[in-house]
């Protein structure tokens, strides 16, 4: 009679034996149908502050430090600002930015940690150009002077969505994504979507930015999405919302300036 296997033995047999067995790359698909992959991804962090009486001092400091990011003035707080920064290396936020925030003028502001968001770009699996999806397009949208209005917010899906079949999930996501594409084709609004599983203190799944030339269409995007199955049936939490207008943008990095048909 065979000896019963222990739980530890089963786990050891089923666990990956080498790092090569754990594939962390982002996946896409070429025009010929081949699977492509990339290990590049962009991290973005949003932080909000209060008690800012002079935005110009912040802009001077950001320019002097050559911070990669965008500064917003909070439409709902006359002394509030928001700052989004980006890097392919998360160490940037702990090393350079941590020291920067602990010096004037930012050290004199009041942090609003309830708005803090950290996320990473990701692929869905069918994108033909992963550098465009993961790096260039998010940065072009973030740094576009023609898109001064923004709404930043986190969201968390409910467990019911994860219990659906892949086919059911795709139908729901197509309904949700169709609204964004319609607004984008009309030049009224665009989005940046970031995954934040394990990066968010409130256990959110995604960070979203809606960007556009005017604020009203961005509000309409949120209103339209309230009626989708994903939002009405499969979201556990949405917000808080930071609503602001650009006060300063860094220059678009050279590696993100590849030509594209749409922002």
CA–CA gap between residue 215 and residue 212 (Å, rounded): 7
Q: Could you say which DSSP state residue 196 is in?
A: -
What fold does the segment set 36-251 form as a domain? Alpha-Beta Plaits (3.30.70)
Q: What is the DSSP string of 142-163?
A: HT-TT--EEEEEEEEE-HHHHT
Better pLDDT: 74 or 174: 74
CA–CA gap between residue 113 and residue 135 (Å, rounded): 26
> Using one digit for the tens of pLDDT, what is the confidence trace for 11-29?
555 555 555 578 899 999 9
To which H or E segment does residue 63 belong? helix 55-65
CA–CA gap between residue 121 and residue 138 (Å, rounded): 8
C-alpha distances in Å from residue 12, one per residue of 6, 9, 15, 22: 10, 5, 5, 15
Q: Which of 179, 161, 164, 191 is nearest to 228 (CA)?
A: 179
> Using one digit for the tens of pLDDT, what is the confidence trace for 146-189?
999 999 999 887 667 676 677 766 766 677 677 878 889 999 99
Going from N- to C-terminal start, the domains of the chain cover: 36-251
Percent of the chain with pLDDT over 90: 65
Residue 217, pLDDT above cutoff 90: yes
Mean pLDDT, the chain, whole residue set = 87
Please tell me the predicted confidence (pLDDT) of residue 9. Answer: 53
> Residue range 81-104: average pLDDT?
97
Please tell me the predicted confidence (pLDDT) of residue 96. Answer: 95
CA–CA gap between residue 256 and residue 136 (Å, rounded): 4
- CA 47, 52, 56, 60 torsion: positive or negative? negative
Q: For the whole model, what pTM was predicted?
A: 0.85
Residue 239, pLDDT above cutoff 90: no
Please tell me the predicted confidence (pLDDT) of residue 213. Answer: 98
């Amino acid at each position: 009679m065979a000896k019963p296997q222990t739980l530890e033995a089963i786990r050891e047999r089923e666990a990956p034996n080498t790092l090569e067995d754990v594939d962390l790359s982002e996946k896409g698909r070429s025009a010929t149908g081949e699977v492509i992959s990339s290990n590049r991804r962009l991290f973005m962090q949003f932080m909000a502050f209060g008690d800012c009486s002079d935005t110009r001092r912040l802009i001077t400091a950001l320019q002097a430090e050559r911070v990669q990011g965008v500064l917003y003035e909070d439409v709902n707080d006359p002394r509030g600002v928001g700052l989004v920064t980006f890097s392919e290396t998360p160490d940037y936020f702990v090393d350079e930015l941590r020291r920067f925030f602990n010096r004037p003028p930012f050290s004199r502001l009041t942090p609003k940690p309830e708005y803090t968001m950290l996320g990473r770009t990701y692929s869905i699996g069918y994108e033909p150009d992963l550098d465009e999806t993961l790096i260039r397009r998010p940065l072009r949208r973030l740094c576009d002077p023609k898109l001064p209005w923004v709404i930043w917010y986190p969201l968390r899906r409910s467990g019911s969505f994860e219990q659906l079949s892949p086919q059911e999930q795709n139908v729901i996501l197509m309904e949700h994504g169709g609204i964004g594409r319609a607004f984008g084709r009309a030049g009224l609004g665009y989005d940046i979507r970031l995954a934040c599983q394990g990066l968010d203190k409130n256990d959110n799944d995604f960070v979203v930015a809606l960007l556009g030339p005017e604020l009203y269409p961005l509000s309409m995007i949120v209103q339209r999405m309230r009626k989708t199955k994903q939002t009405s049936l499969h979201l556990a939490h949405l917000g808080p919302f930071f609503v602001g207008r650009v006060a300063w943008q860094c220059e678009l990095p050279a590696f993100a300036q590849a030509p594209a048909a749409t922002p």
